[in-house]
A = this chain, B = another copy of it.
C-alpha cells in the first residue's frame, strides 16, 4: 500500500472491537473500504490495501465478502438506501412540489457529503460486472425517476414553472453531485451556507413566478467542441 491518510486510521480499532459481532465486521470493512475507494479509487485500491488497513489478512477479508465486487456492491447498496429513505420521507409529506424540491436539495446534499452517498456518485460503476452494473444502475435510475415525479408534481400543482422534468432532474442532481467532488468538511464553506444558496438558486430557477426573459437569445458557442482530426 502506498499512502494512507490519517483519516483512515480509526477503523483498525473498529474491526478488533467487533470480534463477536460478525455483521458489524462486515460493516467495518465497508467503512474502511469506502474511504479508501473514495481516496484512491476502487481500481487502485487492492484487497491487500484494505486488509492491511483493517489489520487483518487478505483471506480474512474473503471470509466476509465473496470478492472485491461484493464490497463495492454493498457500498452502493448502503448509499442508495440512504437516498431512498430520504425520498420516502419527502414523498410522504404534503407540500407544494417546489418545497419538496427544496427539501430534496437539502437532503441530498446531506447524503452526498457523507462517505456512502459520495460513493454512489463518485465510484465508477463501470468496474462492476454486468450483473452488478445492472443492479446499481437500476437503483440510480429509480432515484432519478422519483425526483422527476416530484418535479412533475410541482408542475402539476403550479408551484413549478412548466419545463421538461427529465432535464430539470438531471440538472438538479448534477449540480449536487458536483459537491461530492469538491466539498470538504474542513473547508472554508459551511455546509449550511452552501445548502442555502443551492436551494435559493435551484428553486429560484424552477419557480413558477421567478422566470425572466434573457436580453438576448441563448448564445451559440462558435468554437468546435468536437475536434476532428
Q: Which residues of A contact B (CB under 8 A)?
A: 11, 14, 18, 24, 27-28, 31, 40-41, 43-44, 78, 82, 85-86, 89-90, 95-96, 98-99, 102-103, 105-108, 110-117, 124, 126-127, 163-164, 166-168, 170-179, 181-182, 189, 193-207, 209-212, 214-216, 218-227, 229
Contact = CB atoms under 8 A, between A and B. Distances in A.
Nearest to A31: B229
Please indicate which of the listed interface residues A90, A176, A219 has the most CB atoms of chain B within 10 Å of its own CB. Answer: A219
Given A204-B211, A205-B202, A207-B212, A44 B126 contact: yes
Contacts of A220: 106, 110
A218 B204 contact: no
B200 A106 contact: no
B201 A103 contact: no
For this chain, the copies found in one complex come to 4
Contact of A163 (B197, B218, B222, B223): B197
Contacts of A113: 225-226
A223 B87 CA distance: 11
Contact of A111 (B24, B90, B96, B225): B225
Q: Which 6 residue pairs of A and B lie closest in terms of their CB atoms, listed nearest first?
A: A174-B178, A107-B221, A103-B219, A114-B225, A204-B205, A201-B205
A181 B201 CA distance: 22
Nearest to A216: B99
A23 to B, nearest CB: 10
